Amino acid sequence: MSHRARFAVFVIGVAGLAVLYVLAAFRLPDFGGRFHPYGERAVTSAIAERTKNVVSSVNFDQRAFDTVGEELILFASALGAVVLLRTVRREREEEAGEHGYGPADVFDALRLTGYALLPVTLLIGVYIVAHGHLSPGGGFQGGVVLGTALHLLYLTGDYPALDRLRPVPAFEAGEALAAGVFVILGLAGAGLVIPMNAMVGLEVGCAIVLVLTKFFEQALLVRTDEAGKGEGT
Amino acid sequence: MVQAAIAAPALVAVLLAAGGRWLPRPLVDAVATGTVLAVTVLLGAVLAAALRHPVVAWLGGWRPRGGVSAGIPLVADPMAAGLALLVAVLTLAALVFSWRYLVEVQAIYHALMLLFTAAMCAFVLTGDLFDAFVFFELMSVIAYVLTGYKAEEPRTVHGALNFGVINSLGAYVTLMGIGLLYARTGQLGFAAMGARLPGQDHRLVTVAFALVCTGFLVKAAAVPFHFWLADAHAVAPTPVCVLFSGVMVELGVYAVARTYWATFAGAVPGAGPALASLGVVTALLGGVMCVLQRHVKRLLAYSTVSHVGVILLGVAALDHASLAGAAYYLLGHAGVKSALFIAAGTLLNRFETLDERELHGRGRRMRVPGAVFLIGGLGLAGMPPSGLWAGKSLMDEAAERAGWWWAAPVGVVASALTAGAVLRVWLRVFRGVGPSGEGTDEHEDTETGPRMSRLPWTMLAPAIVLAGGAVVLGLITGLIHGVSHAAGLFVDQRGYVAAVLSGGAWHAASEPLHPWTAAGVIGGAAGVVLAVPVAVLGLRRPAPRLLRPAVDRLRAAHSGHVGEYAAWLTAGVALFGLLLFTA
């Protein structure tokens, strides 16, 4: 199919989709109406369970099974990164020190800021996870903060330090076990917002570290032996 | 009990992912196979319970009060429980086949297979549309990874990427549709939404149906959403193909049917004709493309496209007898196609290639795979008493009643084309018939590492059991009655809503169905008789000159270019919407 034909098919399709969507939008409910069936139901249910943060109540209690699915999606994606970005036969991993991604030559101020921010950011991550049932935040958001906090070390130019701080098997195991506990809590329990938040935080943090590790390895360490192919900069 | 069937494989999967690297390979195999065996037994018990009365379990104890609930139900009616059981049985066959199968990052492969089982079971058993979407995504993510497992080949990555892009686009469209429904009804459960659809604007309802079904139709590989399927099947490991073709693709049709009967029944008058049009085009185009292939896995993949088109046509009749036929057809197809993929896997293992011409005559000594190809070909042709034949006989009878006289011939053509192609492979590879042509010399991975002196029984037994079972399926009267009972419950929307939202009774009267009709037997015989010339003519090399431009154009359309696939996808949504409004 030529470029033009492809574009024509696409334009016709998108135009049709737009028409369909406009058709669906006729007779929208009035703005500011009083018809909020889901909101009323979710809020009443959350209050009945004494969970202050309704969003957390929906995520980890009322519709916990959805969150189980989402957790497993993240888990499967991290496994996928491990499988698909593994060093395959025609590639090899660089020996340590071959290229020297060691402490890069950066400003002392930058390095100091990174080192100082690391514990603070980790603390904030834990705080966000731990208060998910009361205030905005929770396992997903806190887990992302935790996972990215470690990578402040990369920003300071110290890849070896980051490498030492994240033993991959431990993070794989941590991610898997957190996902497992979450499956049990999500399918068996009810009203367990606090432990579920903690498990999500652990899983998300580990998964992010794992996925980023694989991408770092791919970008920094893995080389194809065939000259010129896949050679990074 | 229903929850345990989903939780058990997921839990063992995470444990294998966490600790599998320290376990010896046989132990990992034993743990994974044992788990799936336990899940199979568990789902058998669920099915037995569901046949007495459908099981509804509200997760977290969020039972509905006054017909509304904030929670998510799992609904195991006989159809859903039966499909989940099929998932477990096929996973069992795939895992037994994998015992001698070389996999890198070994325990992760097993973890992904178990997680895939859990995802498919949850997708089938959930009673909530948004939850179905979540598990649709989980199923898809795992499927992308499994497709790309042999990541060292560029074409593997290409196939997996096409699969990922097209399926994700379909899923987004589904999510748009869910958003529309949610915005107007304030509900996400199939039953709760269905109870509030009467009185909604019909345009909204129709568009929402079109959008929600799109993702499911992409999974079901209905034309023009089918392009990803052959690319993915050609590169995925053999046991993964078993699960893809055997059940994952068919789950797309199941989801369309579930969405229609639980939520939209009667609210979208165009649904039947629109789905039937897609089904007919899919059945025929898949059949033609199947005949044109010479890569055995790609050939089997297009045959799946064609047969899923027939199943979609059966569902589109929107009638309980036809749905029972479609379900039976699905069951027969799952057995035959899984066995054929396993047999193809043994060919790959012996000869490092799946090019039919390259393999010419080389399978003469492979008795079991040869027998599987012969039986599989006859099964696909719809030879009585195979499961495909019984299903088609029931579907044809229902179509006849609805005045769809063209449905039966379409089914016969699809059977003849796909079966002809498989029989051609049997003649050429296992009997050495026809001129020996030059192959492409393209060598593929054997999937087992060092060459084995002979094929182990673990690779052959699953194929024999599955193919053998599928070709006598039409004789098991009890199973036909069970499926017809399941279909009767499935189409009873009022019963579904009552059972889910208020714990009410869900009984459906279903008269017993009989596939042994004169028309059914003639249809089956016609499929077999027509498959023979397709096979024999296919052995002659050049296509007739008259057809060559059309053939070239068809091949060019299936280019592997993901942008083209995406363009067809958007056009397909628009076309499906148009059909729903005008049909």
- For chain A, what are the domain ranges? 58-228
For an interface test with A, the pick among B124, B134, B240 (most A C-beta atoms closer than 10 Å) comes out as B134
Rg, C-alpha atoms of chain A = 23
How far CA A58 is from CA of A133, B3, B126, B196, in Å, comes to 11, 20, 17, 22
pLDDT tens for A180-226 read 999 998 887 667 888 888 999 999 999 999 999 888 888 877 766 55
B17, A83: Cβ pair inside 8 Å?
no
| Partners of A222 in beta bridges | A93
Give the closest-approach CA distance of A123 to chain B in angstroms: 26
ipTM for this model:
0.92
Residues 176-205 on A with a CB inside 8 Å of B are: 176-177, 179-180, 183-184, 186-191
User: What CA dihedral angle connects B254, B259, B260 and B262, to 10 degrees?
Assistant: 110
Alpha helix segments (H runs only) across chain A = 3-24, 37-48, 54-57, 64-84, 108-130, 139-149, 152-155, 159-165, 168-188, 193-216
| Residues contacting residue B482 through CB under 8 Å, at least 6 positions apart | B51, B78, B82
Which of B6, B204, B567 lies closest to A13 in CB terms? B567
pLDDT given at position B105: 61
Average pLDDT (A92-102) is 59
Q: How far apart are the C-alpha atoms of B331 and B314, rounded to whole Å?
A: 14
Which site among A57, A61, A84, A226 would you substitute to test the B interface, given the most B Cβ atoms closer than 10 Å to its Cβ? A84
| Mean pLDDT in residue range A115-130 | 93
Q: Which pLDDT score, from 0 to 100, does residue B569 have?
A: 96
Among chain B residues, the shortest Cα distance to A85 is held by: B151
Contacts of A27 in chain B (CB under 8 A): 201, 204
Kindly report the nearest CA distance between residue A65 and chain B, in angstroms: 7
pLDDT given for residue B281 in this prediction: 97
Q: Which residues, other chains included, contact B22 with Cβ-Cβ below 8 Å and sequence gap of 6+?
A: none
Say which residues have a Cβ less than 8 Å from residue A174's Cβ, sequence separation at least 6.
A202, A203, A206
B198 to chain A, minimum CA–CA distance in Å?
A: 15
Q: How far is A96 from chain B (nearest CA, A)?
A: 23
Question: What pTM value is reported for the model?
Answer: 0.94
- What is the DSSP-derived secondary structure letter of residue B65? B
Which tens digits make up the pLDDT trace of A33-86?
A: 888 888 888 888 888 887 778 888 888 888 989 999 999 999 999 999 988 888
Per-block mean pLDDT, blocks of 10 residues, chain B (583 long): 92 92 89 96 96 91 84 95 97 92 76 96 96 97 94 89 96 96 91 90 94 97 95 94 96 97 93 96 96 94 97 95 96 96 91 87 90 95 93 94 93 96 95 75 67 79 93 91 94 93 84 87 93 89 77 88 94 96 88
Relative to beta strand A222-224, strand A91-93 is antiparallel
* B446: number of Cβ within 10 Å: 17
B68 DSSP assignment: B
